Structures are given as structure tokens and as C-alpha cells.
Structure 1
Amino acid sequence: MSALVPLGSGVWYLPGAVNSVVVENGKGRALLIDTGLDDSHARKLLRAVEAAGLGPSAILNTHSHADHHGGNAFILKKFPELAVFAPPIEAAVINHPFLEPLSLFGASPPPELRTKFLLAPASPAQLIPPGQQRLGGVDLDLIPVPGHATDMYAVQLGDMIYVADALFGPEALEKHPLTFCVDSAAQKVSAASLVELGGVGVVLPGHGHPSVDLPGLVGANLAAYERTTAAVLATVQEQAGSVDDLLARVSVRLGVHTGSPAAVVLNRAVVSAHLTELQAQKQVHCAAEHHRLVFRIYS
């Protein structure tokens, strides 16, 4: 059984493909932050919380990607009284998860895009605004970090910050050269803004290990994001094309191995986001050509 790993006084995390954070409220219960992809992760999370002598007090989802809220349903079956909180736009998707594959595919998605990796069970999330909040008996600061998702929060708890997917660990960056985002320009701004936070001792990404070097982690992520932008621009410079044309060539350029339909639509969204950023910089433009949306170097 996986055990909780301490991050600070009354704060732990459960390592996994996605990290879950557990914050004690001083009354024998704990706020659960991000519940993982599925029942398996949620079961491990509840067992670890119970082994620590705690029970859940509430759930906070930092954003609506399935790997961060897919465990909600399992936990709510056992604790139906728990409130679920999420950023406003993300709460809508958690309540209606079909919006995730729908937005990625652009129409009613085929069965291959309705797996647990893109379509989590629905749960009744309440929207919570950013700033100082008290959730499940825990005081925390919700910091907007949009870009990876439309409306994502990092969570600061004293000198510890859980940055969710605003930053990734080095192994995750190496494994996924096309780091997912819906807005690459906002992703960079959010990552850079984290350096300005004061009093941070430990930083935990949603995917990766804790670090005490926040500036170094931010720098590594910004370098990775800029590499993707540069790769997309270089690919358009070589030859204009549709998003799908460019995705295939960018994937070869960056050594990306795409193994499933879900990976295709996720990577396609990344290329689209960087194309939008480049268009805002007047480096590329798009036009309808022969019934296709084609991106060319700006002239």
C-alpha cells in the first residue's frame, strides 16, 4: 500500500502518476487535493488517509483534466457528504465531463476518445474563486495559473506550494516534449509568475517529485515551453500546413511517439495553442485554402 509522504506540518502527498495532496484540518480530517485518474488511485488515497488516522473533509480539484478528478466518484460513493470545489470554468467540466473530449475533438467524440483518460465520471463540483479560502477546515491560498488548463489553481499552504500542472518535474518534461496546454502564452506567464511568490520552501508539481528549487523548476519548464514554440515555428517555416500536417512534422522533430487517438488530440491541441501564440506575435497567420485551415509564415 502506498503511504503518504510528508511535505510539512500537517501536509502530505500521495505519489503517483498524478500526485494527490492531503492537508490535515486539526480535527482528525483532511482536505484532499486532486484525486487521481480512477478508482484505483482513489482507493490508494483513501487507504493512505485512513492509515494516517484521518478522514476526508472535502475535495479540491485544481483543474478539470480527468487524471486530476477521476477519483472523485469513488470517494463520493463512500463519503457522499463531501463538498467538491474547483475553479469556475473547471467546475463546469467536472460537472459535465463530456465537455473535455467534445472540446478536443470538436464534435461528438468517437468511442476511442471516451476512455477514462479523457472522460472521467461526473461529480458535483462547486466553483470557488481565487485568493484566501477555507475549505474543509483548511486555510489556503488559491493562485490562478491558467495555460495548461483554462482556469487552473496552484495551492499555497504556508511555505509549501502545490503548483498542479503549472510546472512539471524534469522526468515529465523529458517524457512529454509536447507538454499539454490550451494557451501556451498564458502557460508561460503563469510559470514565470510563480518565481515572484514569497516564502516558498517546497514546491510539488502535479507530475513529479517535490523540489526546494522553485526558480530552477520554473526555468526548466519555461525552456521546455519555448522549445515547443520554436519547433512549431520552424516547422511552419519549412512548409505551410494544416494543424494535422504540422502536428505530424513537429512530432518527428521533437521525437514524440503517439500511441493512441487520445494522444493525437491532446498533442494536436498543444500545436494549436502554440500556433495561436505565434499568430498573436504576427509570426504566422492562417487562411482557408482548398477546404483546409492552413498556417503560413506571416507576411
Structure 2
Amino acid sequence: MSASASPSALIPLAPGVFYLAGAVNSFVVGDGRGGALLVDTGLDEAHARRLLRALDAAGLTPTGILNTHSHADHHGGNASILKKFPELKVFAPPLEDAVITHPILEPITLFGARPPRELQTRFLLAPPSPARLAPEPGLCRIGGATVELIEVAGHASMMYAVRVGDVLYAADALFGPEALEKHPLTFCADSRLQKEAAAHLGTLEGVRVTLPGHGEPTDDLAGLVAANLAVYERTTQAVLTAVQVGAATVDELLSRVCAALGVTMTTPGAVVLNRAVVSAHLTELLEAGRVEMTVQDNRLIFGA
């Protein structure tokens, strides 16, 4: 299946279920009465405008917004949509709702302090929008649409995948092949949970088509899960190998891991994002007893 339609057109996945293709996909669920729940609104105003044009062309009016998690590329379009539809309610999982309401929390978390200007870009700092807690996982109604929320924490501190019948929007629990190749250090807040979430989605029965947050829809859920798990485990092994070379700080390990995986970082944003990935896998390895953490010469050191 491919996104061969107009770049500003909704692509049907099932009756009343659509997506808008983009660097980040937006998932759209109709309520059967001309309304639609918008799941993830993209990085910025440009994506939001495309989404609104596509809805208008399909004869749909937004009735609510669900952000699967709080990364800027998934809720950056909220503010623009709310300008036109101020009555819409924004829903998000626990913790994620706080970041969407106060987006400065994302770069603060990555940097560890008030972030410098270079880390306050649209990729790390979306416009704020007032988010509230989404319903707990399970079958529910949001914005008049009936959806099933599935907890898939790991890529973010909390995240929901969304299922409608035999269609699964995996959000960033699963990435398409091109995204996996482009970003060998797939972002995560908790690498162990990231693997568990992907594996859990692979156990779902009756899924006909899966849409990742980044990439094209596929009818091969098992293959997509396997590809993601392989990349996640490759990162864990790369971090472990970097530690085994010799005890080092996180930044020194990051340099080793990037060299091993062919990653070149050229911006501060890339460094803090990839540094967080290495830190997540270090925590997983620490908890498994495969590495140890010490303080030496006023430095936090990880060794085998």
C-alpha cells in the first residue's frame, strides 16, 4: 500500500478511517456524522493546513484531537487547528498531556536544564496547546469517534497506539523501513519498554493494515514488528560493545555508537536526542546487570 494520492488528500484505510501522509502521518477517524477525530497533527502549521484542507475536501469537520504522545512532530499542528476550531478538546496520555500543555518540558528534559536557543527549534519545542488526559487504554469514544487505545510506552514516557476495527495506527511504537534506515538510533525514553511495546503489537489478531507514525501502511504487521525489534536490539548491542571497549562517559559512548552505526550528527538537537537513546539503553543494560555505573574523577562512568 502506498501514499500515491494527492499530498493534501486523505487516503482511505477502511470505511470512515483515513490518513494524511507526511513526514509524520495523521490518522483520521470519522464519527459517521460528518465529524472526525484527528490523531496526531504533525510538526507545524504547514502540516496542519494540509490536514484541514484534506478534511474539507472529504466533507469532514474536526471534532477532537488525540495526540499519541508529546513529541513536537506529533502535536506541533495543534495550535494552528485550535485557532480555527477553538472548541476542540485535545487529549493525550498521562505525562504526555503535561508536555503538550507546557512544551518547554521536552527540551528541558533532553538538555537537563533551561535549554539554549539552539535547542528551542520547532523539532523540540512545539507551540503549546491545552491538553487533557485521554481515556485509559481500551475501547472508548473521543470526539464522537469510537477507538481502541493500546498502551505502547517506550518511545515516549507514555504513548498510545490506536486501533479501529482491523486498522492499527501504531504511532511511534513501530517505524517504517525507510525511517529505520534513516535513523539507526531510533529514539526512545525506555528501550526495554520500547521492545515490549513492539512485541505486544505483534500479538494482535485481526489486524489487516498497520500505519506507523512514520512510513507507509503495510499489511505485514509481523514483518514490521520484526524489523523494528531488530533495530532496537542492534542499538542495545552497539551500546554494550561501546562499553566493553572501555569505561567511558555517556558522551564518549555516544561517539563510539555513532561511529559503529554510521551516524553523523551535525546539530545540537541531534546530539541531545541520540544521547538520550544511548542513556535509555544504558539503563536497560544496568538493570540487566550487564554494565555498571560509577563515579570517577567527578565523571559518571559506565563500564563492563
TM-score calculated relative to the size of structure 1: 0.98
Displacement of 1:259: 2.0
Q: Give the structure 1 partner of residue 236 of structure 2.
A: 229
- Partners of 2:12 and 2:264 in 1: CA distance: 35
Amino-acid identity (%):
66
Contact 1:37 1:67 in 2 (8 A): yes
- Partners of 2:151 and 2:232 in 1: CA distance: 19
Displacement of 1:78: 0.3
Q: Which amino acid aligns with 1:76?
A: L
Determine whether 1:104 maps to 2:115: no
Q: Which aligned runs of 4 or more in structure 1 are off by greater than 3 angstroms? A: none
Q: Give the structure 2 partner of residue 34 of structure 1.
A: 40
- Partners of 1:13 and 1:132 in 2: CA distance: 20
Q: Give the structure 1 partner of residue 4 of structure 2.
A: none
Match of 2:177 among 170, 174, 183: 170
Match of 1:4 among 2, 10, 15: 10
Q: Give the structure 2 partner of residue 213 of structure 1.
A: 220
Q: Give the structure 2 partner of residue 76 of structure 1.
A: 82
- Partners of 1:70 and 1:240 in 2: CA distance: 39
Match of 1:49 among 55, 69, 72: 55
Q: Give the structure 2 partner of residue 203 of structure 1.
A: 210
| Post-superposition CA distance 1:110-130 (Å, at most 9, x none) | 000111100101101110122
| Post-superposition CA distance 1:33-58 (Å, at most 9, x none) | 00000000000000001010111010
Q: Give the structure 1 partner of residue 94 of structure 2.
A: 88
| Post-superposition CA distance 1:85-124 (Å, at most 9, x none) | 0001100110111110000000110000111100101101
Q: Which amino acid aligns with 2:262?
A: G
User: Helix, strand or coil: the match of 1:218?
Assistant: helix
Q: Which amino acid aligns with 2:18?
A: W
Q: Which amino acid aligns with 2:161?
A: A
Q: Give the structure 2 partner of residue 16 of structure 1.
A: 22
- Partners of 2:298 and 2:14 in 1: CA distance: 56
| Post-superposition CA distance 1:261-293 (Å, at most 9, x none) | 111000000000000001111110111111110
Structure 1 runs not aligned, ≥5 long: none
Q: Which amino acid aligns with 1:287?
A: T
Alignment root-mean-square deviation, CA: 0.7
- Partners of 1:71 and 1:250 in 2: CA distance: 33
Q: Give the structure 1 partner of residue 143 of structure 2.
A: 136
How many residue pairs get aligned? The number is: 297
Structure 2 runs not aligned, ≥5 long: 1-6
- Partners of 2:217 and 2:206 in 1: CA distance: 16
- Partners of 2:109 and 2:19 in 1: CA distance: 31
Q: Give the structure 1 partner of residue 3 of structure 2.
A: none
Determine whether 1:280 maps to 2:287: yes
Determine whether 1:66 maps to 2:85: no
Q: Which amino acid aligns with 2:113?
A: A
Q: Give the structure 1 partner of residue 126 of structure 2.
A: 120
Contact 1:140 1:156 in 2 (8 A): yes
| Post-superposition CA distance 1:192-229 (Å, at most 9, x none) | 00111121100000000000011110000000000000
Q: Which amino acid aligns with 1:232?
A: V
Contact 1:18 1:68 in 2 (8 A): yes
User: Helix, strand or coil: the match of 2:168?
Assistant: strand
- Partners of 2:247 and 2:103 in 1: CA distance: 34
- Partners of 1:97 and 1:51 in 2: CA distance: 31
| Post-superposition CA distance 1:202-257 (Å, at most 9, x none) | 00000000000111100000000000000000111011110000001100110011
Determine whether 1:161 maps to 2:152: no
